[in-house]
A and B are shown apart, each in its own frame.
Chain A
Amino acid sequence: MKRDQKLFLIKFFVALIAMYLLVAWNPVNDRVIVPITKVIAAGAGALLHAIGQDVVVSGTTISSSRFAVNINNGCNGVEAMLILLAAIGSFPATMKARLIGLGIGAVVVQVLNEIRIISLYLIGAYRPALFQIFHTAVWQVVVILAAIVFFLQWSARVAPHRLANGS
Chain B
Amino acid sequence: MPRIDWRTALKGLAGFVAAVVIWVAASPVYDRFVAGGAELMLRTFEKPAVTRLTANGEDVKVDREDFDPRSPRPGLPVIDLTFNWVLLAALFAINPRPYSDRNIFRFLFASLLMSITHMAALATEVMSIYVARLGLWSRMHYGDLARNFWGVANHSYRFVLMFAIAFGLWWALRPGVEEPVSRSPRKASRRRARS
Contact = CB atoms under 8 A, between A and B. Distances in A.
B83 A148 contact: no
B164 A13 contact: yes
A20 interface: yes
Contacts of A87: 167
Interface in B170-185: 171-172, 176-178
A97 to B, nearest CB: 16
Interface residues of B, number: 36
A83 B159 CA distance: 10
B156 interface: yes
Interface string B142-175: 0000000000100110111101101110011000
B158 A74 contact: yes
A79 B164 CA distance: 10
A140 B83 contact: yes
A165 B86 CA distance: 25
Interface of B is mostly: helix
Interface string A64-91: 0000000001100001101100110000
Nearest to A82: B160
Contacts of A142: 16
B2 interface: yes
Given A5-B177, A137-B83, A13 B160 contact: no
B131 interface: no
A2 interface: yes
Interface residues of A, number: 38
Interface in B49-93: 79-80, 83-84, 86-87, 90-91
A148 B167 contact: yes
Given A24-B159, A140-B83, A83 B1 contact: no
Interface of A: 1-2, 5, 8-9, 12-13, 16-17, 20-21, 24, 73-74, 79-80, 82-83, 86-87, 133, 136-138, 140-142, 144-145, 148-149, 152-153, 155-156, 164-166
Interface of B: 1-4, 9, 12, 16, 20, 23-24, 79-80, 83-84, 86-87, 90-91, 94, 152, 155-156, 158-161, 163-164, 166-168, 171-172, 176-178
Given A5-B172, A87-B167, A148-B87, 14 more contacts: A1-B172, A12-B167, A13-B168, A24-B156, A80-B163, A133-B24, A144-B167, A145-B12, A145-B16, A149-B4, A149-B12, A152-B1, A152-B4, A165-B176
Instruction: Name the 9 nearest CB pairs between A and B, nearest first.
Output: A164-B1, A137-B83, A144-B163, A141-B87, A141-B86, A166-B177, A79-B160, A1-B177, A20-B156
